[in-house]
Chains A and B, each alone.
Chain A
Amino acid sequence: MLKVKNEGVVNDIAKTTYKANKKRNLLTIFAVFLTTFLIAVIFAVGISYWNIVTERNIRIQGMKYDIELPEPRDDQIEKIKEMDNVKYAGILVKCAIVEKYKDILLDKTRLYWADETCFKNQALPAMEYLRGSYPKKENEIMFSIKTLKDMGIEKPEIGMKLPVSYFTLEQTSDDEDIIEKEFILCGWYLEYSGNNRGYISKDFYKTTGVKPTDLTQGSLKITLKSPLFFEKDLIKMQKDIGIDSNQLIEGDTDIIINFLKMAAGLIFMLIMVFTSGYLFIYNIFYISVTKDIRYYGQLKTVGMTSVQLKRMVYKQAVWNSLAGIPTGLCLAFVVIKTIVARILIIVSLGYIEMPVNNIIVLKLWIFILAGGFAFLTSIISCKKPADIAGECSPVEAMRYIGTLKNIKRHKIGNGSLYTMAFRNMFRDKKQAVVIFISFTISVSIFLVVNVVIRANDSKYILNEVSNCDIDILNETTLDDDREQILTDEKISEIKKITSVESVRKVTSAKTVVPYDEDVYGDYYKELYKTRYYAGQSYEDDMELYKQDPAHGFFTPRFIGIDDYGFEMLNKSLGDVLDKESFDNGEIAVAIKFFTEGDSGMTGKITHFYLPEGLEPDKEYCIKIAAVGDGQMNPAHFAGGTTPDLVVSEKYAKKLLGETFTERICINYKESYSEETEEEVKSVFSGEKRISIDSKLESYNLMKGAEMQIKILGGSIGLIMAVLALLNYFNMMAAGVQNRSREFATLESIGMTVKQIKKMLRLEGIGYAVISVIASMVIGLPLSYIVFTNTTRYLIKFSIPWINNLFLFTVIIVLCMTVPVIIYKKTQDTSIIERLKCNEN
């Protein structure tokens, strides 16, 4: 009974104290609110993003699995099913293709047979819904809604008769016999893969004669127990099952890296938010408790225990949380539902249609977790202040001076404003550290946000990634009956457009490079060691190469580039080419894919034939002056495995007579000009055999995402900055007021207001400069890491100096002016009044 009564008293006193500290509580509630909001948003973004990435894969594949083994043998299937890390292994066989339904021509509609594991555990999870059941009878069939729509069936019914014509994919039958058959619809489903698909029964599958081991038809879909795996896991699996030459276990090996990156990013952000929230709330309570320490001491003299005092402080923290957390969660809910959802759809989906509810994970547990986190922040922040309040002895409280406890002897200084300012900055080391950390965190976050915005700045990306305004490809380039579409007439027509700055062209032709151990031996050996050729037999292929160098598997492209193309290529190679020798056809650049380094090709002479040239049987030779990677390739279309040869257009013309233009790149006088673009496009109007990659079009696509990222990133940065600045203001306000007696003393011995202001300004600059330096030391490397890990394009990192300098200036100016303003606002009474009012 007594205890209960007692509790009531503590409650009453806590209430009185709480009411007396309105300003402090409002600030704390605000901080709790922002912290909660940030935590909830970061949680939801991280989890939704991950959800999208995995969901997207499922949808693109139309199935849910982690890795797959094409053309599996029975013994391999057995082995895989028994592996410890495999959850499900289901067989999927593509056995036939439907061409027509009644008279409607269909777009490559594949018919699959899936075993029970595959259908239940891998196909079903990717379906939005399923009506009916998997085909059992030989003539039963199941289609996707999209396929049915293509057939003109809007309202499917179980038992419907579906007369179709199809051909089987059996390898042995050479001619594709069209077979007519009436199927009965036994089910349908909705999925988003965008492909036309149907499932048929085991009995039908057997009639087609297709076997799982047939090339590209059968596949073993594997769901792993843990969806995170390394490349080495796949290699080990391949070894264990003894893969054939044409086999390769396929899987996204970056998945674990991506997951770790995302998790690390998420945790990092949470730590930052947590810390800045902690520092803020801690600071507020610390200031308030030390200010009222006398009051706590008095409470103790009248008989309150330490525990009760602590509980009193915690109670107030809980009340603040009760006000701040729910409101923060509400705002987070709204923001996630609207802005975040839109951003995520744009950023990570683009071309895939998916209902919004599937993208955004708005689960209750996220909010509970976020709220819990925020609550924890708020409570932990109060621990130290509560301890101070609880452990003060009544006598000590009377003399509590906070700073003078363990004072050091100062060397005899000269008492100038600078030394005074410096001393004042560190008079309460804890507070100084709080200020530095909170500034450093928020500035670092700001720097990171800055580069993230930069990484998503459409124009910046486009200027870095593409080196022309519009890129036109002749899509017939690799066809046997290719056609010169990008003719010289068209090119000069484009050149005539006044707003066009330049037109560059890239020509290419097939070339045959005879087997040459000396030049390409090391390259081929290395190539066959990469994962991409793991199943291939090096010896067999080289034998084939020796016998048939003109086999499409090996023949590279012979690429001709103009002066501008040379400049760019030479620049990316590091200026190693001699222009004259290149023009004269004495040297060429080899472009290879997949391998690292030049495999000793540089400086060697390669031989080649040009079957399309003036003298098809003549063997030419040229020196390989440098070796470049795939992304340096001026041409778009790829040839066989032997490295492509890049030569000057002049030389190509000499050997080929007429060259074939595969690509033209056009630069406008003014990038992103709609009018120019229209004029250029009109030159090829109606031409279907070209593809156009336009910077303007990409820009229009990317603009939306850019805007949203700017808004979200900007507001996260802003919130952090507001927290840090509020923290600083709050501390400065308390600091200046605590020092009001000291200021009065200084004035009494003749320090002018001007001098005091200068001293305060120096203090502010000191805080700002130290914080800025600290945040550069931490923030710049951090922003570099974030940038290189988040950019989806091959763009170079650069520091957004203008933004950063702007930020630094704002911080310095605010730090400088705020204490002065506070001083002016609070220290306007007479010296004696101020001396007296703090006389305690």
Chain B
Amino acid sequence: MDILITEDLKKYYEMGEVTVKALDGIDLKVEKGEFLAIVGTSGSGKSTLLHMLGGLDIPTSGKVIVDGKDISKMTKDELAIFRRRKTGFVFQNYNLLPLMSIYENIVLPIKLDGINPDEMYIEQIIKILGLKGKEAMMPGQLSGGQQQRAALARALASKPAIVLADEPTGNLDSRTSLDVLGLIKTAGEKFGQTIVMITHNDEIAQMAGRIIRIEDGKICRGGDTNVKGKE
């Protein structure tokens, strides 16, 4: 069953005379439980696509269907609830909340749902991501890499069905990168999560079940479902 489907998805930016086609007709299907890696040159439209999948940005045209629902038909609040229950998002630039401690940042999506977080699980994530002892610190007091791991912890904390991660290892050394990726992968397998991850790192891309390549807002390889991306 395809949990994520895009149909002729387009995102154009009108810049005066010029039209920037960030996404130009993306047809993508992601199966439930799949681990998908998106690669492509800088400015090719990877982040834009991920934002669309997370319901964070509004497409110029085309559809995004998540779990059988067209998200363009959802209200803002439905979308918000969908996000906190179904998806975990890791931004390229982390976007942690500056006034909250790391721990508060991590559990916020769960709290917003009025649920008590699974302390054991969160404890585990924190440990694996090397954030032990940093829980009470404020984001501004952490290094870039630490912030990135905190953002990942926040995305995983609610055990979402879909994890959308924009270069989750971009600021990490290769050793840590592999540890972090291991976590994502095991968690994904354990909870049956669907993972879509952007990366520039070939080695990391290889760990994914499928790789798609985007150039100039179009999928140039791996778009069709279930075609193993390995060359």
A407-B141 in contact (CB<8A): yes
Q: Which of A311-319, A336-344, A675-683, A739-747 interfaces with chain B?
A: A739-747
Q: Which listed residue (A404, A749, A752, A831) contacts B108, Cβ 8 A?
A: A749
Q: Which listed residue (A407, A415, A745, A754) contacts B95, Cβ 8 A?
A: A745
| B85 contacts the other chain (CB 8 A) | yes
Bound together, the chains give a CA A746 to CA B99 distance in angstroms of 12
Which B residues are in CB contact (< 8 Å) with A404?
Answer: 98, 138, 140
Q: Which of B27-35, B53-61, B177-185, B201-209 interfaces with chain A?
A: B53-61
A748-B83 in contact (CB<8A): yes
Q: Which of B73-81, B210-218, B222-230 interfaces with chain A?
A: B73-81
Bound together, the chains give a CA A752 to CA B109 distance in angstroms of 11
User: Which residue from chain B places its CB closest to the CB of A407 in the assembled complex?
Assistant: B138
Q: What string of 1s and 0s marks CB contacts (under 8 Å) between A124-168 and chain B?
A: 000000000000000000000000000000000000000000000
A751-B99 in contact (CB<8A): no
A414-B56 in contact (CB<8A): no
| A427 contacts the other chain (CB 8 A) | yes
A750-B84 in contact (CB<8A): yes
| A416 contacts the other chain (CB 8 A) | yes
| A792 contacts the other chain (CB 8 A) | no
User: Which residue from chain B places its CB closest to the CB of A751 in the assembled complex?
Assistant: B112
B101-A409 in contact (CB<8A): yes
A749-B138 in contact (CB<8A): no
What is the distance, in angstroms, from B80's C-beta to the closest C-beta of chain A?
4
Bound together, the chains give a CA A831 to CA B100 distance in angstroms of 20
What is the distance, in angstroms, from B156's C-beta to the closest C-beta of chain A?
12
Please list the 5 inter-chain residue pairs (A to B) with the smallest Cβ-Cβ separation, ordered nearest first.
Answer: A750-B84, A832-B57, A752-B80, A750-B83, A752-B77
| A305 contacts the other chain (CB 8 A) | no
B104-A413 in contact (CB<8A): yes
Which A residues are in CB contact (< 8 Å) with B85?
Answer: 750
Which B residues are in CB contact (< 8 Å) with A3?
Answer: none
| B97 contacts the other chain (CB 8 A) | yes
Counting chain A CB atoms within 10 Å of each CB, the highest count among B51, B98, B101 belongs to B98
Counting chain B CB atoms within 10 Å of each CB, the highest count among A403, A753, A832 belongs to A832
Question: Can you list 25 A-B pairs, Cβ within 8 angstroms, ordered by A?
Answer: A403-B98, A403-B99, A410-B100, A411-B136, A412-B104, A413-B101, A413-B104, A414-B111, A416-B111, A420-B99, A746-B108, A748-B83, A748-B89, A749-B154, A750-B81, A750-B85, A751-B80, A751-B108, A752-B112, A753-B76, A830-B57, A830-B58, A832-B57, A835-B91, A835-B95
Bound together, the chains give a CA A748 to CA B50 distance in angstroms of 12
Size of A's binding interface in residues, CB under 8 A: 36
Task: Identify which of residues 817-840 in chain A touch chain B, using a CB-to-CB cut-off of 8 Å.
Answer: 830-833, 835, 839
What is the distance, in angstroms, from A830's C-beta to the closest C-beta of chain B?
5
What is the distance, in angstroms, from B97's C-beta to the closest C-beta of chain A?
6
B138-A409 in contact (CB<8A): yes
Give B residues with C-beta under 8 Å from A.
51, 54, 56-58, 76-77, 80-85, 89, 91, 93, 95-101, 103-104, 107-109, 111-113, 135-138, 140-141, 154
| A424 contacts the other chain (CB 8 A) | yes
Extra 18 A-B pairs, beta carbons < 8 Å, given A403-B98, A407-B138, A412-B135: A404-B140, A407-B141, A410-B104, A411-B136, A412-B101, A414-B104, A741-B95, A745-B95, A745-B97, A749-B154, A750-B85, A750-B113, A751-B108, A751-B112, A753-B76, A753-B80, A755-B80, A831-B56
Which A residues are in CB contact (< 8 Å) with B56?
Answer: 748, 830-832
User: Which residue from chain B places its CB closest to the CB of A405 in the assembled complex?
Assistant: B140
User: Which residue from chain A places its CB closest to the CB of B135 in the assembled complex?
Assistant: A412
User: Which residue from chain B places its CB closest to the CB of A754 in the assembled complex?
Assistant: B77
What is the distance, in angstroms, from A140's C-beta to the closest C-beta of chain B?
91
B107-A415 in contact (CB<8A): yes
Which A residues are in CB contact (< 8 Å) with B111?
Answer: 414-416
A752-B95 in contact (CB<8A): no
Which A residues are in CB contact (< 8 Å) with B138?
Answer: 404, 407, 409-410
Give A residues with C-beta under 8 Å from B.
401, 403-404, 407, 409-416, 420, 423-424, 427, 741-742, 744-755, 830-833, 835, 839
Q: Which listed residue (B58, B96, B108, B140) contacts A415, Cβ 8 A?
A: B108
What is the distance, in angstroms, from B140's C-beta to the closest C-beta of chain A?
5
What is the distance, in angstroms, from A189's C-beta to the closest C-beta of chain B?
77
Counting chain B CB atoms within 10 Å of each CB, the highest count among A410, A749, A830 belongs to A749
Asked whether A755 and B140 contact (CB < 8 A) given A412-B135, A742-B97, A747-B80, the answer is: no
Which B residues are in CB contact (< 8 Å) with A413?
Answer: 101, 104
Q: Which listed residue (A424, A427, A752) contacts B76, Cβ 8 A?
A: A752
Q: Between A and B, how many residue pairs show CB distances below 8 Å? A: 103
Q: Which listed residue (B51, B98, B109) contacts A742, Cβ 8 A?
A: B98
Which B residues are in CB contact (< 8 Å) with A830?
Answer: 56-58
What is the distance, in angstroms, from B124's C-beta to the closest C-beta of chain A?
17
Which B residues are in CB contact (< 8 Å) with A832?
Answer: 51, 56-57
What is the distance, in angstroms, from A371's C-beta to the closest C-beta of chain B?
43
What is the distance, in angstroms, from B112's C-beta to the closest C-beta of chain A?
5
Counting chain A CB atoms within 10 Å of each CB, the highest count among B58, B76, B80, B97 belongs to B80
Which B residues are in CB contact (< 8 Å) with A412?
Answer: 101, 103-104, 135-136
Bound together, the chains give a CA A407 to CA B77 distance in angstroms of 32
User: Which residue from chain B places its CB closest to the CB of A750 in the assembled complex?
Assistant: B84
B95-A751 in contact (CB<8A): no
Asked whether A755 and B112 contact (CB < 8 A) given A427-B99, A746-B97, A749-B83, the answer is: yes
Bound together, the chains give a CA A745 to CA B151 distance in angstroms of 11
What is the distance, in angstroms, from B138's C-beta to the closest C-beta of chain A?
5
B58-A424 in contact (CB<8A): no
Which A residues are in CB contact (< 8 Å) with B137?
Answer: 409
User: Which residue from chain B places its CB closest to the CB of A742 in the assembled complex?
Assistant: B97
Which B residues are in CB contact (< 8 Å) with A744?
Answer: 95
A749-B89 in contact (CB<8A): yes
Which B residues are in CB contact (< 8 Å) with A409?
Answer: 101, 136-138
Bound together, the chains give a CA A748 to CA B79 distance in angstroms of 10
Bound together, the chains give a CA A423 to CA B84 distance in angstroms of 22
User: Which residue from chain A places its CB closest to the CB of B57 in the assembled complex?
Assistant: A832
User: Which residue from chain B places its CB closest to the CB of A414 in the assembled complex?
Assistant: B111
B95-A748 in contact (CB<8A): yes
Bound together, the chains give a CA A424 to CA B97 distance in angstroms of 12
Which A residues are in CB contact (< 8 Å) with B99?
Answer: 403, 420, 423-424, 427, 742
What is the distance, in angstroms, from B177's C-beta to the closest C-beta of chain A?
23
Which B residues are in CB contact (< 8 Å) with A420?
Answer: 99-100
Bound together, the chains give a CA A669 to CA B38 distance in angstroms of 90
Bound together, the chains give a CA A741 to CA B98 distance in angstroms of 11
Which B residues are in CB contact (< 8 Å) with A414?
Answer: 104, 111
User: Which residue from chain B places its CB closest to the CB of A413 in the assembled complex?
Assistant: B104
Bound together, the chains give a CA A413 to CA B84 distance in angstroms of 20
Bound together, the chains give a CA A80 to CA B89 distance in angstroms of 94
Bound together, the chains give a CA A221 to CA B109 distance in angstroms of 86
What is the distance, in angstroms, from A242's C-beta to the closest C-beta of chain B?
79
Which A residues are in CB contact (< 8 Å) with B95?
Answer: 741, 744-745, 748, 835
B89-A752 in contact (CB<8A): no
What is the distance, in angstroms, from B142's C-beta to the closest C-beta of chain A?
12
Which A residues are in CB contact (< 8 Å) with B96?
Answer: 745
Which B residues are in CB contact (< 8 Å) with A424?
Answer: 99
Bound together, the chains give a CA A748 to CA B166 distance in angstroms of 14
A751-B84 in contact (CB<8A): yes
What is the distance, in angstroms, from A547's C-beta to the closest C-beta of chain B?
91
Counting chain A CB atoms within 10 Å of each CB, the highest count among B82, B96, B108 belongs to B108
What is the distance, in angstroms, from A312's C-beta to the closest C-beta of chain B?
30
Which A residues are in CB contact (< 8 Å) with B83?
Answer: 747-750
A749-B58 in contact (CB<8A): no
What is the distance, in angstroms, from B221's C-beta to the closest C-beta of chain A?
26
B93-A839 in contact (CB<8A): yes
What is the distance, in angstroms, from B186's C-beta to the closest C-beta of chain A?
23
Which A residues are in CB contact (< 8 Å) with B80?
Answer: 747, 750-753, 755
A410-B101 in contact (CB<8A): yes
Which B residues are in CB contact (< 8 Å) with A403?
Answer: 98-99
Bound together, the chains give a CA A318 to CA B78 distance in angstroms of 51
Bound together, the chains give a CA A752 to CA B136 distance in angstroms of 26
Asked whether A750 and B109 contact (CB < 8 A) given A401-B140, A409-B137, A830-B57, the answer is: yes
